[in-house]
Structure 1
Amino acid sequence: MRLGGRIAAAIEILTDTATRRRPVADALKDWGLAHRFAGSGDRAAIGNIVYDVLRRRRSYGWRMGNDSPRALVFAALMDSENLDAEAMLAALEGDRFAPEMPSAADLQRFAASDITQAPAAVRADLPDWLAKAFETSLGEDWIAEAEAMSARPPLDMRVNSQLSTRDQVIEALSPFNAVPAALAPQGLRIAPIVGGGRHPNVQAEGAFQKGWFEIQDEGSQIAAALVGARPGEQVLDFCAGAGGKSLALAAGMEGQGMVHAYDADKQRLAPIYERVKRAEASNITVHGPREDLFELDAAMDRVVVDAPCTGTGTWRRRPDAKWRLSASAVDKRAAEQDTALDAAARFVKPGGTLAYITCSLLRAENADRIEAFLQRHRDFSAGDSPAAWAEAMPDAPKSYRAETVGWGTALTLTPRLTGTDGFFFAKLVRQ
């Protein structure tokens, strides 16, 4: 496909998502099935355009003076490829599939615009109602923090230290320029996509099939390391989902002790069985939603609640989610988080710890939930999360946001400060 066809496809997909309010991944998949002549390179390039638009929808619309899908697609291309109107016109000359370009006035406005003069929510590429929540959650740097959420993300992996080493995996992935992650001890990173490129399908590599590594954002790896699970301990991953943190915990425990992986949703839990088998993680026991966990009551050294959340910290990867999020959804998630924390607390033994993790940047889902929990559970106190960071990664810089919660300190990781997806971590200790 030539550039004009890719532009037309991106406009069609964005129109579909806006009209039907559906996840962009579904719209991209359906478009691909209906246009089988498009090769994998074409689909990747179209997807990049669509995701770039969704990451910066408000700022592009403001700069263009027009927020139609057509205007936004041209804005994204000119921005990502550093093209002016003349260069864009030249690139599309003779392309019969190219849609009509935006007006000369729109293009001139885009070229001359100064985004620093835009309203705060526009600069942050957020819905108006979320701007105050981000300011409350992230302080005076909230606009810069939100702007960093609009960049393309890298591809991160965690080396399975039970089966391989970081050097071995780097060698196995040498065609893809994987490098050690900046912070996570077993992390690897492939740089963000440039232009119309795509990340390699590393899951097709032999090293992945042999269980040498898992795909996992560096922030998620750090959160698992902050739990501080030690060899020989009993650990409950109460919201295990597909098992990414369970696998990281098990490897960090050097195969000694036991990680009990549980989730109330069997669909979310389903992928863990194959992942455990591939990683040869013999110290993971999976518990289905119908199982009674009474034998684990007050017996766990550490309990991890990777709570269901709005996923605001993952918007680099799922930018369409921020335009579908509602205030009622935040309230619903907060109630679910309270329920999960209350249910998990019973499993922590005296002197044990409860780790609360979300991939959200909203205070309503993070510090507020910890403070509410401490009011309900007087036998718990907030711990020192920066100390957990220093113990888990003694050589790593303190690239996080720290805030007082109760009498302790919680951490927030962000794309701007940590170079990862957004994560919140708090440590609670049972008296």
Structure 2
Amino acid sequence: MTPAARVQAAIDLLDAIIAAARDGGPAADTLIATYFKTRRYAGSKDRRAVREHVYAAIRRTADCPETGRVALIGLAREQPDIAALFDGSSHGPAPIMPEEAGAAPGIVPSWIAPLIAQPVEQEALLGRAPVDLRINRLKTTPEAVAPDFPDATPIPGLPDALRLPEGWPVERSEAWIAGRVEVQDAGSQLISMACDAQAGLTVIDLCAGAGGKTLALAADMAGKGRLIAADSIRSRLARLAPRAERAGASGIETLLLDQGHEGRALDAFAGQADIVLVDAPCSGTGTWRRNPEARWRLTPARLDRLVSEQARILDFAAPLLAPGGLLVYAVCALTDREGRDQVEAFLTRHPGFTVEAVPVTMGRVHGGGCLLTPVHDGTDGFFFARLRHG
């Protein structure tokens, strides 16, 4: 591919990504992989260059642009070497006309910017994220794993965590293959630690997904007690079993919930849980470093639906707690509607619960919970709170 053809390919891919963002279609990585499967003539350098163009355009454009060409022209206005490739060649994009406006640069979509809890840190939301590891104490110790990752550094406040440079190929390492480590952002590890799961307890991970936090809870419980991983999406929950086998985490129960009728499966646990973790569906604003196109998928209407769903999940989670039990609420989001305000509304609806201080050294106190941000903590953005029953 010529350099100009690479730019045109990036425009074509951005058109597909924009359409998918509006219609709830596949993620950018999936679309890029599919695109190149049918274009065998593209070599590795071509694929890398096109991908870099695509993500550079996405990262600099907060509001979803009308077309891929608009997105790339915005990038070209800042990078003359790319602008020169709009040359009208047979496989390249047409020249940029004086009247063509490129997408305005930005970090956070204009409509949601006032809702972000820490607006002064918005720029960090699109920085490159490191690779964080959680050492699996069911199989090893931090001291035993350290020689496998000489480039890693410890993360203060997290004794089982190591941090590697962005892009480090962890899944090729013997330690990962053997289940001695898991890839898990430090913020997620901190939330698992805040649950204070211990051997012999009954713990429910109510929005378990593929089980990243479930496995961390299993390690804290040392395989003793009752650990239930519940979710309403079968395909995500199905990924837990092979991960648990690799991690040596036996005895985890899985529970598929019928969305909208979760009580049918959960009634049997009413008043029995010592700990319930609600890692709720959210806007994902805290994960934009890893998934910048998610900014284009989020809309005011979708945020409204997510806030309502979070409240609904908290309401059916509350009755599961035994007296003195702990409800940990978490979102990988930085909007106060999903964090601080959600907790305040829950406490109004459930006066039998009280906010409990988060016993961690990272993050900042924020509205009865803890706020983690990329700048302050080096993690993805999270809000979480501990709510004690009785």
TM-score for both structures, normalised by structure 2: 0.85
Within the candidate set 152, 158, 171, 1:178 is matched to 152
Which residue is equivalent to 1:119? Answer: none
Moved more, 43-52 or 312-321: 43-52
Measured against aligned partners, the alpha-carbon deviations of 1:13-68 in whole angstroms (never above 9, x if no partner) come to 11222345343223212212122233455434433332232122159x9xxxx982
The 1:72–1:24 alpha-carbon spacing in structure 2 relative to 1, beyond 3 Å, is farther
The 1:229–1:41 alpha-carbon spacing in structure 2 relative to 1, beyond 3 Å, is farther
Which amino acid in the other structure matches residue 129 of structure 1? W
Which residue is equivalent to 2:130? Answer: 154
Measured against aligned partners, the alpha-carbon deviations of 1:121-165 in whole angstroms (never above 9, x if no partner) come to x7752222112212xx33xxx1x3111112122222212121123
Which residue is equivalent to 1:277? Answer: 245
Structure 1 SS opposite 2:228: strand
Alpha-carbon RMSD across the aligned residues, in angstroms, is: 3.2
1:399-410 superposed matches below 5 A = 400-404=363-367, 409-410=368-369
Report the alpha carbon displacement of residue 327 of structure 1 after superposing the two structures with TM.
Answer: 0.9
Within the candidate set 346, 351, 356, 1:373 is matched to 346
- What is the rounded CA distance, in whole Å, between the counterparts of 1:206 and 1:75 in structure 2? 45
Does residue 364 (structure 1) correspond to residue 337 (structure 2)? The answer is yes
Report the alpha carbon displacement of residue 99 of structure 1 after superposing the two structures with TM.
Answer: 4.8
Within the candidate set 223, 226, 230, 2:198 is matched to 230
Measured against aligned partners, the alpha-carbon deviations of 1:95-131 in whole angstroms (never above 9, x if no partner) come to 996656758999xx99xxxxxxxxxxx7752222112
- What is the rounded CA distance, in whole Å, between the counterparts of 1:146 and 1:90 in structure 2? 31
Q: Percent identity?
A: 35
The 1:90–1:44 alpha-carbon spacing in structure 2 relative to 1, beyond 3 Å, is closer
Which residue is equivalent to 1:204? Answer: 172
Kept in 2: contact 1:10–1:73 (CA 8 A):
no
- What is the rounded CA distance, in whole Å, between the counterparts of 2:174 and 2:77 in structure 1? 40
1:380-395 superposed matches below 5 A = 380-385=353-358, 388-390=359-361
- What is the rounded CA distance, in whole Å, between the counterparts of 2:113 and 2:289 in structure 1? 17
Which residue is equivalent to 2:34? Answer: 30
Structure 2 SS opposite 1:68: helix
Which residue is equivalent to 2:261? Answer: none
The 1:181–1:237 alpha-carbon spacing in structure 2 relative to 1, beyond 3 Å, is same
Does residue 55 (structure 1) correspond to residue 66 (structure 2)? The answer is no
Measured against aligned partners, the alpha-carbon deviations of 1:347-376 in whole angstroms (never above 9, x if no partner) come to 111111100000111111111111111111
Moved more, 34-43 or 319-328: 34-43
Report the alpha carbon displacement of residue 264 of structure 1 after superposing the two structures with TM.
Answer: 2.1
Kept in 1: contact 2:76–2:83 (CA 8 A):
no
TM-score for both structures, normalised by structure 1: 0.78
Which residue is equivalent to 1:117? Answer: none
Kept in 1: contact 2:134–2:162 (CA 8 A):
yes
Higher helix fraction: Structure 1 or Structure 2? 1
Number of equivalenced pairs = 377
Structure 1 SS opposite 2:377: coil
Which residue is equivalent to 1:304? Answer: 277
The 1:124–1:185 alpha-carbon spacing in structure 2 relative to 1, beyond 3 Å, is farther
- What is the rounded CA distance, in whole Å, between the counterparts of 2:211 and 2:14 in structure 1? 32
1:40-189 superposed matches below 5 A = 40=44, 42-58=46-62, 68-74=70-76, 78=79, 85=80, 99=93, 125-134=107-116, 137-138=117-118, 142=119, 144-174=120-150, 177-189=151-163
Which residue is equivalent to 1:354? Answer: 327
Measured against aligned partners, the alpha-carbon deviations of 1:160-205 in whole angstroms (never above 9, x if no partner) come to 121123344443345xx3333354322222223xxxxxx2443233
Structure 1's unaligned 5+ residue stretches are: 79-84, 111-121, 193-198, 391-397
Structure 1 SS opposite 2:139: coil
The 1:38–1:172 alpha-carbon spacing in structure 2 relative to 1, beyond 3 Å, is farther
Moved more, 199-208 or 222-231: 199-208
Kept in 2: contact 1:208–1:214 (CA 8 A):
yes
Structure 2's unaligned 5+ residue stretches are: 259-263
